[in-house]
Amino acid sequence: MFKQIQNWFDERIGLTKVIEEFNGERIPRRGGWAYTLGSVLAFLFTVQVVTGIFLLFYYVPYFPIARNATYFIKHHVIFGNILLGIHLWGAFTMIFIILIHMARVYFSGAYKKPREMQWIVGMVLFSVVVVLGLTGYMLVGNENSWWTINVLDNVASHTPFIGGFLRIIVKGGTETSVLTMQHIFAVHVWLLPIVVIMFIPIHLFLIRKTGHQGMALEYKNSKLSDDDEKKWQHPDGTVPFFPDQFYKDMIVALGVFAVVYILAVYVGAPIGPMYRPLALNFAPEADWYFLANEELLKYFPGHGLIIFSTFLVPSIGFAILFALPFIDRTKERSPFKRPAATVLGILFLLLLVYLTLIGGEPKAPATV
Amino acid sequence: MAKSSEESPSRRTFMMVVIGLISTVIGIALAVPILGVVLNPLFRKRDIVWTKLGKISDLNLKPLDPKFVPVYFRVKEGWSVNTLPRQVVVVKQVNGDLLFFSNQCTHLGCPLHWIPARQKFLCPCHGGMFNITGQVVGGPPPRPLYQWVHKFGKDKDTVYIQNKFKDNPKDRGI
Ligand code: HEM
Ligand code: FES
């Protein structure tokens, strides 16, 4: 019976061959667990899409109602708290794991020729995922949403030349209004998810074309010199993607999913009070992954310097990260044989952690 | 190092079993909250309220001359209180009895028109026809017109309507 169905498809489109081709990708053998991060990201993104679709059964992107609709999902819809919780903690976990995935790629030098495009596409995915997080935060319609919209929109307004237009376009007008939320909503549920859905396959296609580099420890037996690009295409041992690598991917996915689920059930998604533009005593807070940036915004007082914190420092930092494969063109991959890159990477991560930790503390207004 | 699936068939089987089990666990864990959210409406109680229709004496009812009177139910729905505007068709029978019909056709719910010349309620959708006592006299409708649950106030003149039909076990319409 099964055989017959298989034959039916094979006669027409050679399905078995297609599947075998797909499943048979050769993955470097030794560091398999480190290569599960990308798949876990794809898995988490799928979970975000699925939970997001069902949140839409109740959510309304209208400022005075959004927060109450979210509250209703959490408190009055059966298992709505779990669904909302998975969506929130799934998003946090995704941002966290994307950083680890980037770190793994960075320290193993896997962005170098011929894999520059993977890195660029990855950076697009990274930017989009972060903006997905920020827009999601705004959609709750609570106090933080309201002030986050205002703060980030003002940040956008300091972009040279186009800042003024940008601010109005993002807001859907000159003031924060119901149109603002409608725009953010369309961006969060349509525009950005579609970008991710388009770029993940490109990312994966490129990885298949160049082969998976993995880490330097895969190439110990190779006789070629480290400068030879060919060396980094032939790891000592490989296993097929299915089932060997997929098996590891699934185990890690289960572990990550269990953590997300437990956080969803026992911590859940805080909703907070309705937005109050009139509030006298409210101190807005950003989500954890934005605190480093938030901290940066505190250091450049006054008219002349504001552009450093809102535009120059973030965008130059971002541009350097984006163009990394073209800036670092050395051929060496092992983190121990390129100490400068490794130390810089570690310092950058420490700075990020430090800024994040102190970014949570409100700072007294600077006197100029 | 653990054997790869190519080196050992039993290892391959083991991996396949683990993959299957994990997929099942994750699938179920996700399906449960999704089912809860999707099936939630089945467990929701409808908010039933009374609302004032007005005084019968103000309607100037004549026998065999239906009056379409709008009512506005304020009901709790989800996260908000909403207004449901509905038509009450008040009919005075020849013997003086009052009937309070819904203007929804009992076939599939289209809005009925009163045609004075033919003394009939006609449905614009599939040709349903009702006489002034609400009985089906033509077309596909399976049952007489729905009647609103109603009550009279202390003055025996003011009428209150509930957002509920009489003899309507499956809660159709409204
Ligand atoms: C939604 C986000 C992302 C998804 C779903 C994703 C998915 C994947 C997958 C499945 C792999 C192969 C397995 C692995 O090494 O983990 C991979 C590898 C890779 N990713 Fe990502 N990734 C994402 C974001 C990023 C980001 C932000 C970067 C860097 C800026 C990046 C750069 C790379 C590179 C260079 C490789 C090749 C590694 C090698 O050949 O060893 N990816 N990605
Ligand atoms: S709905 Fe009235 S006849 Fe079909």
State which amino acid sits at residue A333. Answer: R
Q: What is the pLDDT of residues B133-147, one digit of tens each?
A: 999 999 999 999 999
The partner residue sitting opposite A250, judged by closest CB among B1, B6, B18, is: B18
B136 lines ligand 2 (CB under 6 A): no
Which ligand is the nearest neighbour of the Cα of B141? Answer: 2
pLDDT, average across residues A55-83: 94
- Residues of chain B positioned with their CB less than 8 A from the CB of A76: 78
Answer yes or no: is pLDDT of A254 > 80. Answer: yes
Taking the CA of residue B76 and the nearest CA in chain A, the distance in Å comes to 12
Which atom of ligand 1 is nearest to A196's Cα?
1
Phi-psi region of B119 (alpha: psi -120 to 50; beta: other; left: phi over 0): left
Backbone angles phi, psi at A221, to 5 degrees: -85, -10
pLDDT class of A368 with cuts at 50, 70, 90: very low
The pLDDT tens digits for B93-103 are: 888 899 999 99
Q: Which atom of ligand 1 is nearest to the CA of A200?
A: 5
* pLDDT tens digits along A82-91: 999 999 999 9
Q: For chain B, what is the total number of helices (H) and then of strands (E)?
A: 1, 10
Q: DSSP states of A75-134 as a string? A: HHSTTHHHHHHHHHHHHHHHHHHHHHHHHHHHHTTTTSTT-HHHHHHHHHHHHHHHHHHH
- Each residue's pLDDT tens digit, A211-234: 999 999 999 888 888 888 888 888
Q: What is the ipTM of this complex?
A: 0.89
Whether B40 and A78 lie within 8 Å, measured CB to CB: yes
Residue closest by Cα to atom 4 of ligand 2: B126
CB contact under 8 A, A243 and B6: no
Residue % of chain A over a pLDDT of 70: 98
Which of B22, B29, B32 lies nearest to residue A251, judging by beta carbons? B22
pTM here? Answer: 0.92
| CB atoms B33 and A47 under 8 Å | no
- State which H helix or E strand residue A318 sits in: helix A313-322
Q: How far apart are the first and last CA of chain A?
A: 80
Residue A163 vs residue B50, higher pLDDT:
B50
Q: Kind and range of the H or E element at B71? A: strand B67-77
Domain ranges of chain A: 39-352
pLDDT at A362: 63
Which residues form ligand 1's pocket by a CB distance below 6 Å? A 35, 37-39, 41-42, 45, 98, 101-102, 105, 110-111, 115, 118-119, 122-123, 125-126, 129, 196, 200, 203-204, 207, 212-214
pLDDT 10s digits, B42-53 = 998 889 999 999
A78·B80 Cβ contact <8 A? no
CA–CA separation, A124 vs A195, rounded Å?
A: 9
Cβ neighbourhood burial of A88 (10 Å; 0-12, 13-18, 19+) = buried
Cβ-based interface (< 8 Å): residues of B facing A: 1, 4-6, 12, 15-16, 18-19, 22-23, 25-26, 29-30, 32-40, 43, 78-80
For A39-352, CATH number out of 1.10.40.30, 1.20.120.450, 1.20.810.10, 3.40.30.10 equals 1.20.810.10
Chain B environment of A83 (Cβ under 8 Å): 33-34, 36-37
Place of tokens 């430090």: A354
Sign of the alpha-carbon torsion through A220, A226, A232, A234: negative
SS3 B164: strand
Ligand 2 atom showing the smallest separation from residue B109 Cα: 1
A270 contact B CB<8A? no
Q: Are the Cβ atoms of B22 and A250 closer than 8 angstroms?
A: yes
